[in-house]
């Protein structure tokens, strides 16, 4: 009886967005009287960080600090249309729409600043701290708060912009089946290191190495959260979670969350993350989607690691001690 160690690999590529009947999202942006830019969306942030990434895209495009951006994920009645938060499409679709809206608003902002400073709009730049200034003559400048007030009360201008990103519908070629269903693909590889107790059948994940190629990491800290949170979910699917352990019979199914198993703090392995950036030509600043794929590769990586450790090939989740022991019995020729 021993604890057997194994290592398993799995790689995945994952599409950003879907085909649908075309896949659009819209964004609107406008400046308040005091220079806060409100980004209006009906896109939903489920906790994945869309509001932060959208604010970054708007701030970067406008040339203003993040503090000047307010993201309003209104609702589907009042916000501009969005297909929804699914298909790892949020950053790509909404980011592109926000960049388009912010670029239009920036043009108006610079045009009003040109009137206010009595210069040509082409001679103006933003300094990233809230000032619009003349290139090469930085002392000739106006702050966004003063500019927004002047736009409203002196010039009668609305500093605003509209944006939409559309992935156009694509139909398959009947003869070959070829089509263009998504916008770009992200790639990942997980290496799982496990220990299998051949007496109890318990599998422990010791380490997970995750490498992700995601175009560009717009927010590296949130990318790490996605990767590690997704790896946790993948491990949870692989080893613990089941609503129907003896499907199709209903025996021993969990009745509540006390009985529904998930990994606790002691089950979390060491994570090692690597982010590779190969910008997508059609992504916002090159970004691809990373939401859903993070739960995928860990599952087959763990299955391969179990096989490497003890020779048992499992293809039904979760990989419970019972299934491991039954597999070991078969290998030893003990058919009970």
Q: What is the pLDDT along the chain (336 residues), one digit of tens a residue?
A: 799 999 999 999 999 888 888 889 999 999 999 999 999 999 988 888 899 999 999 999 999 999 999 999 878 889 998 888 888 888 899 999 999 999 999 999 999 999 999 999 999 999 999 999 999 998 999 999 999 999 999 999 999 999 999 989 999 999 999 998 888 999 999 999 999 999 999 999 999 999 999 999 999 999 999 999 999 999 999 999 988 888 888 888 888 988 899 999 999 999 999 999 999 999 999 999 988 999 999 999 999 999 999 999 999 999 999 999 999 999 998 765
- Tell if the pTM clears 0.75, that is, is over it: yes
- Report whether 323 contacts 313 (CB < 8 A): no
By C-alpha distance, which of 165, 43, 146, 185 is closest to 96? 165
- Report whether 205 contacts 235 (CB < 8 A): yes
**174-179: long-range pairs with CB below 8 Å, 24+:** 179/19
- At 126, list the tokens: 């933003």
| Measured distance CA(85)–CA(93) in Å, rounded | 10
Q: What residues are annotated to the active site?
A: 292
Provide the CATH topology of domain 3-16+184-331.
Aldehyde Oxidoreductase; domain 4 (3.30.365)
| Measured distance CA(58)–CA(66) in Å, rounded | 8
CATH 3.30.365.10 placement within the chain: 3-16+184-331, 23-167
- Report whether 117 contacts 123 (CB < 8 A): no
| Measured distance CA(319)–CA(201) in Å, rounded | 9
- Report whether 136 contacts 143 (CB < 8 A): no
Looking at the DSSP bridge assignments, the partners of residue 27 are 163
- Top CATH class, 23-167: alpha beta
């Amino acid at each position: 009886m021993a604890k057997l160690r194994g290592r398993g690999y799995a790689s995945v590529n994952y599409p950003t967005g879907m085909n649908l009947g075309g896949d659009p999202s819209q964004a609107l942006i406008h400046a308040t009287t005091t220079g806060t830019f409100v980004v209006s969306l009906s896109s939903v942030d489920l906790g994945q960080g869309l509001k932060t990434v959208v604010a970054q895209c708007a701030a970067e495009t406008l040339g203003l600090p993040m503090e000047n951006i307010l993201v309003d994920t209104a609702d589907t009645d009042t916000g501009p249309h969005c297909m929804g938060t699914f298909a790892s499409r949020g950053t790509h679709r909404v980011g592109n729409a926000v960049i388009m809206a912010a670029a239009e608003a920036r043009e108006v902002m610079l045009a009003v600043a040109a009137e206010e400073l009595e210069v040509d709009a082409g001679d103006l730049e933003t300094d990233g701290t809230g000032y619009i200034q003349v290139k090469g003559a930085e002392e000739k400048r106006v702050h966004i708060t003063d500019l927004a007030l002047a736009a409203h009360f002196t010039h009668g201008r609305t500093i605003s912009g509209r944006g939409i990103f559309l992935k156009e519908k694509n139909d398959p070629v009947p003869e070959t089946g070829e089509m263009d269903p998504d916008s770009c693909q992200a790639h990942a590889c997980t290496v799982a290191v496990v220990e299998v107790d051949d007496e109890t059948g318990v599998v422990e994940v010791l380490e997970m190495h995750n490498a992700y190629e995601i175009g560009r990491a717009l927010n590296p800290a949130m990318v790490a959260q996605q990767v590690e949170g997704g790896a946790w979910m993948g491990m949870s699917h692989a080893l613990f979670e089941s609503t129907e352990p003896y499907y199709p019979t209903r025996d021993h199914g969990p009745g509540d969350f006390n009985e529904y198993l998930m990994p606790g703090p002691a089950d979390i392995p060491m994570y090692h993350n690597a982010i590779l950036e190969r910008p997508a030509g059609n992504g916002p600043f090159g970004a691809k989607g990373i939401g859903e794929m993070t739960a995928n590769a860990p599952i087959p990586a763990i299955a391969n690691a179990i096989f490497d450790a003890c020779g048992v090939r499992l293809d039904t989740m979760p990989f419970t001690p019972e299934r491991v022991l039954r597999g070991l019995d078969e290998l030893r020729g003990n058919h009970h």
